[in-house]
Structure 1
Amino acid sequence: MGKGKARMRLAAVMLAAMPTTLAFADEPLDAVLSCMRANVPQSVQIKEVELTAVDRVGSKRVLRGRLYGQREKEQLRTSLKIAAPPDLAGAAYLLREKGDGDEMYMYVPALQRVRRITGTGSDGSLWGTDLSYGDVKQINNAFSAGGGAVDGQGELDGRPVHLLTLVPDPAEDSRYASMKVWVDQQTCVSLRADFYEGSTVRKRWSADPASLARAGKHWYVGRATMSDLVEGTSTSLRVLGVSSDVDLAGRYFNPQTFYLGS
């Protein structure tokens, strides 16, 4: 991929892995993004995840489910299935990265149907959390960029980081003008990301460096938070379990079958 169209997807959670070579302090943007891209394994990785959404008055709502992710011909495939609470059990979400933009699908149990999410709908709230449909990529340590630059190096919570500025690909139809991303130099995992609406930081993704862990050869973040700094709400993510390099059937990433089964 060319520098102007470098594309990077965070299936972070929410998926992260460390490649055999590490990014060094003088790496150009493409090298850092490639290192981050390698954090998503070629084979499938499953995570038991817990999302705790806190509204502006402090009320909490906890969701639990599984996240499935893989790279297929260097493009991300991610599905998220909800098991609890009871009123959301069976709900499912699918993201398929494509060269001309993302495909997003939602299964609504009450309607027993799949609907396609298009255009500005990708900015909608995912089951009442601070994650939008498009933000699921951040869970997977995968960001999209139509352009950007490495602004330099710094330190975050005692860890050396690359400082990136990314501009969303026009094909994403993103609400954000730009993103500032702090990428851990050792693991190539994003530890923080600020999402700008104009000159205002609207949302912030913050990962807890102390929760970095490894499943096999893959690194992942065990705890992170997406905060809406304008609305005063937040959603924390906790990884309860990981199974990496698991061979799953293609139905988990098929728009017609992704919501079936566990």
Structure 2
Amino acid sequence: MDLAMRRLVLIGCGLAALLACAPALARDGLDAVLSCMRANIPRSVLVKEVELTATDRVGGTRVLRGRLYGQREEGLLRTTLKIAAPADLAGAAYLLREKDGGDEMYMYLPALQRVRRISGASTQGALWGTDLSYGDIKQINNAFSGGGGSVDGQGELGGRAVHLLSLEPDPAEASRYTKMKVWVDQKTCVSLRVDFHEGENVRKRWTVDPASLKQAGTHWYAGDSTMHDLIEQTHTRLRVIGVDSDVELASRLFNPQTFYLGS
């Protein structure tokens, strides 16, 4: 499977939702499982509300709510998040643009009344004070494209039959991770768990509540998921509320000069 085919992906349901096809064959090779994860990714997606609850190591929480828009443009990801809460971030907006020559991130803060471009190592840092980085989200929602891997067998997680995968990040992405262990639901092809390894240690763990799996049209997504930072002992819960797929979205939502305007 060539790299161009592997890159036909979308963050979809903004950050958390892994859209997939159903049903999948119970015992397929790696390419078949990854293809199923990508097969029904919509060309565009609107998440009416996304809620991120970040919890620190002593139990303190911070909740961020907003609306998310995503689409593919010639196979490359475009995603905009507009923040409604908390009050100190209300009106802020973020634009992520995947590019062959290096990804771009833009941020708009009402207090500054200007757009700022974020680049380099900043794109690998925590997003919005959560346990998620852009790199984490991109790995999950790109169906771990571009690297090597294998199917290690089948098993069960949360009462659901799963494929067990071992995957390596694309060298071109300069990922902090050395490998990922992935549990993929056989019925929906949504990833129910991902262990992100730094060397031999699991640095982060992404988990999905199987009971939260829902459909938007013909596409499946996870409505409730959590990223755990096992070293920092923090975690961030992501809830996705109200999803429309294959909708018409204005081009201004993904333009660095206009993405923050309007609703």
Aligned partner of 2:152 in structure 1 is 151
Matched, 1:2 2:16: no
Aligned partner of 2:242 in structure 1 is 241
Matched, 1:114 2:115: yes
Matched, 1:23 2:28: no
1:258 offset after TM fit, Å? Answer: 1.7
Aligned partner of 2:65 in structure 1 is 64
User: What are the superposed Cα offsets for residues 87-113 of structure 1, whole Å, 9 maximum, x if unpaired?
Assistant: 011222222223344333222333333
1:135 offset after TM fit, Å? Answer: 2.7
- Within 5 Å, give how 1:72-111 maps onto structure 2: 72-111=73-112
Q: 1:169 to 1:177 in 2, by over 3 A?
A: same
Asked if the contact 1:80/1:93 (under 8 Å) is kept, the reply is yes
Separation in 1, partners of 2:58, 2:171: 36
Q: 1:91 to 1:114 in 2, by over 3 A?
A: same
Separation in 1, partners of 2:163, 2:11: 15
Q: 1:39 to 1:97 in 2, by over 3 A?
A: farther
User: What are the superposed Cα offsets for residues 133-168 of structure 1, whole Å, 9 maximum, x if unpaired?
Assistant: 223336757434422222222111111111122211
- For structure 2, the 5+ residue unaligned runs are none
Separation in 1, partners of 2:102, 2:147: 11
Asked if the contact 2:3/2:145 (under 8 Å) is kept, the reply is no
Asked if the contact 2:178/2:197 (under 8 Å) is kept, the reply is yes
Q: 1:3 to 1:136 in 2, by over 3 A?
A: closer
Structure 2-normalised TM-score?
A: 0.89
Separation in 1, partners of 2:139, 2:101: 19
- For structure 1, the 5+ residue unaligned runs are none
Q: Which moved more, 1:89-98 or 1:233-242?
A: 89-98
- Name the SS of the counterpart of 1:116 in structure 2: strand
Q: Aligned-residue CA RMSD in angstroms?
A: 2.4
Equivalent position amino acid for 2:123 in 1? S
Aligned partner of 2:190 in structure 1 is 189
Asked if the contact 2:107/2:117 (under 8 Å) is kept, the reply is yes
1:188 offset after TM fit, Å? Answer: 1.1
Asked if the contact 1:17/1:217 (under 8 Å) is kept, the reply is no
Equivalent position amino acid for 1:186 in 2? K
Separation in 1, partners of 2:4, 2:179: 15
Aligned partner of 1:218 in structure 2 is 219
- Name the SS of the counterpart of 2:31 in structure 1: helix
Equivalent position amino acid for 2:16 in 1? M
Equivalent position amino acid for 1:212 in 2? L
Aligned partner of 1:130 in structure 2 is 131
Q: 1:139 to 1:200 in 2, by over 3 A?
A: closer
Q: 1:214 to 1:125 in 2, by over 3 A?
A: same
Structure 1-normalised TM-score?
A: 0.89
